[in-house]
Structures are given as C-alpha cells and as structure tokens.
Structure 1
Amino acid sequence: MPKPTKGPRLGGGPAHERLLLANLAAALFTHKSITTTETKAKRLRPLAERLITFAKRGDLHARRRVLSVIGDKEVVHVLFTEIAPLVAEREGGYTRITKVGNRKGDNAPLAVIELVLEPVAKKKPAAKKAAAPKAAPAEVPAEAPVEETPAEEVVEAPVEEAPEADVAETKAPAEETAADEDAK
C-alpha cells in the first residue's frame, strides 16, 4: 500500500486532493498545457506520467485504470488515441514544468505544466565515442629513428599541436624508462 504524503494536502483532505489532481490531469490532457501553482504542478507530474504510461500500454485493463482516476471518457479517449502514440518512443519525462513568476492577486508562485510531445532525439552511445579515439592512435605509423645532433646545432622551431605529436610524446617517456631499466 502506498504511503500517504506527510503534511498538508492540497485543498484540505485526501479525497479532495485526489479529485483536484484528477481534474488538473484531465485539463492537462485536454489542453496539452495548463498554468497552475508550482505546488500543484509538482504534485500533478507523477500522476500524469503514470496515466500516460498506462495509455502507452493501451490494453483494456490500462484504460479501466485510467478511467478510475479520470471519470471523463472523452479525455481518456484523447489520452489513448492522440497523446500515447506521440510519446510511444519516449521512455519517461512526458511532462515539463516551467516557472513563470507570481500571481498578481495573492503572489502565489505560478508554473506552466505541459506535455512534451516532440519526437525523441536519439543520442549516440558514449561507449562507441570513447572506443573510436583509442583506435586512431594505433593507426599512426611508427616514427623513423631520430638522429642525435650536437647541442650547438639544435634550432628551436615552433611546435604544432597535432595528435601524432601527442602520441609520440606519450610513447617516448615509456621507452626511456624501459631503456633505463635495461641499463640497470
């Protein structure tokens, strides 16, 4: 059994809060966006997301569970036929809350809660990006042996930063330590 929330309820008792949230959810599904207080928007978000998840399932049992919360059959029909197909690829986060300032009369903080109906932008997995740079240095050809020049003839030239130079710098200390260990 779910644990009831502590503290004051929205509008009085738990039954009134349940009705108030059901009406807010029905208005959200009908208009796709509503303006309400921040507190009501934050309490509405989990209920609306749960109802949308039921609508995505689309079976009769899910429809009856949504009807037990929202009594209006037209709103439930809109939820199942219009909203659920638009969020079918989305795994969660069906709503967005944006704070819009305070109400003129009582200075209550207002927020707009709206449905996120934009298509999901697929992200490329980060593991493939990390594997690609590791493969690139392996393809760099081995450097030719460097001839040692006397100290007097050394001329400093501007160094360009390139991936090949970074690979050579990282390999050089490892080769030096291996040579030092062999000498010992």
Structure 2
Amino acid sequence: MPTPTKGPRLGGGPAHERLMLNNMATSLFKHKRIVTTETKAKRLRPVAERLVTFAKRGDLAARRRVMTQILDKGVVHELFTEIAPLVAERQGGYTRITKLGYRKGDNAPMAVIELVLEAVNPKPKTNKAKLVNNVATAGAAASAAAAEVEAVEEAAVEAEATEAASAEVVETPAAEEVAEAPAAEESAEAEEPKA
C-alpha cells in the first residue's frame, strides 16, 4: 500500500480507505475500466499497478499476496491468467486515467480509470547525438587536444630523426667513394712514373 497522504482519508479512517481501494481494484480487474472521481482514481492507480506487478511475477507467493487484498478468487484467477500475459512486455503504466468532466449532482470531477491492455510498440531508436555537458567535456576535450598535439609533435620528431638517419646513411657511402677516388688516382699516378 502506498504511503497515505496527509489530511482526511477518502472514506473516513485508513482502514475504510484501504477496503474501498481494494474493492475498487477488484471492480477494475473484473470490468477492465471503472468510472469514479479523479481523487479516487489517482489513489487507486498505485494499488492496482502493484497488484498487476505481482500477477506478472506469477508464483504462488505473489498469488497469496494478491489474495490478501482481492478477496474474490475468480478475479484473482482472471488477473493472473488473462491480464498478466497481456501486459507481460510492458515495463509499467498498466492503468490510464482519462478525465471526464464534472458530475451533475455535486460538481465532483469525474474520471475513467482503465487497464492498458494494448500491445507495446517500442519507439524506434534514433541516431541523434546525445546532449553532453559542455563544462565537463571542455576539460576532457582540452586534454584530448593536448594529447593530439603531443602525438603530432612526437611524430614530427620521429620523422626528423628518421630523415637524419637516412641522410647519414646516404652521406656515408659518398664519403667512402670520395676517399676511394683519390686513392685510386694516387695509385694511377704512382704507376705512370714506373712505366
């Protein structure tokens, strides 16, 4: 049972209110919809939805728990065998309250409370980007940008080091060729006077 509201109860004392809500829930499950005042409908909704949740569970303990509130075994059987399978896919919101207007005699606001037994049509998932907190992501974005800059700088340093190493490799054979060329010329000059 939900926490009672402060102020006067619907019919007098809390026990009378509890009995009235249990009887209204019995009528709701038997007839699938009832017409009552808005206040009673709003107070009935959590009671009825809790009973439907127990019926969805479907075990013996849940059936006994529902039997403490709904005394008609036929209605409990209907709740567990007919209503619970129809709302098995629904995550909540088993009842709907629709306002009707005002009662002619005492001008009380009237409403219809009914069970929602239609099949659940899940909303298609959209590919919209979710809104994010700019303040929290600004710091993360700044650190990510700094990491990117560091990575680019490291890549540039590595590229320069690679170019320098390849330049050294290219320069080394050229220096050896230059060193070999004078030696060949000297040996050729040394051979010419001998001849």
TM-score, structure 2 normalization: 0.64
SS where residue 99 of structure 1 aligns? Answer: strand
1:23-42 to 2 correspondence within 5 Å? 23-42=23-42
Work out whether residues 2 and 46 of structure 2, in 8 Å CA contact, stay in contact via their aligned partners in 1: no
Letter of the aligned partner of 1:122 in structure 2? P
CA 1:4 to 1:99, structure 2 compared with 1: closer, same or farther past 3 Å? closer
Q: More helix by proportion, 1 or 2?
A: 2
CA deviation map 1:61-106 (0-9, x unaligned)? 0000000011111110010000000000000000000000111111
1:70-85 to 2 correspondence within 5 Å? 70-85=70-85
Cα offset for 1:35? 0.2
Query: Take 1:34 and 1:93, find their aligned partners in 2: how far apart are those partners?
Result: 17
Work out whether residues 55 and 62 of structure 2, in 8 Å CA contact, stay in contact via their aligned partners in 1: yes
Q: 2:128 maps to what in 1?
A: 130
Query: Take 1:48 and 1:9, find their aligned partners in 2: how far apart are those partners?
Result: 18
CA 1:78 to 1:14, structure 2 compared with 1: closer, same or farther past 3 Å? same
Cα offset for 1:3? 4.5
TM-score, structure 1 normalization: 0.67
**Quick check: 1:62 aligned with 2:59?**
no
Over the aligned positions, Cα root-mean-square deviation in angstroms equals 1.5
Query: Take 1:82 and 1:15, find their aligned partners in 2: how far apart are those partners?
Result: 30
Letter of the aligned partner of 2:128 in structure 1? A
Identity %: 77
1:153-172 to 2 correspondence within 5 Å? none
Between structure 1 and structure 2, the one with the greater Rg is: 2
How many residue pairs are counted as aligned between the two chains? 129
SS where residue 35 of structure 2 aligns? Answer: strand
Could you list the structure 1 runs, at least 4 aligned residues long, displaced by more than 6 angstroms after superposition: none
Q: What stretches of structure 1 of length at least 5 have no aligned partner? A: 132-184
SS where residue 39 of structure 1 aligns? Answer: helix
Cα offset for 1:4? 3.5
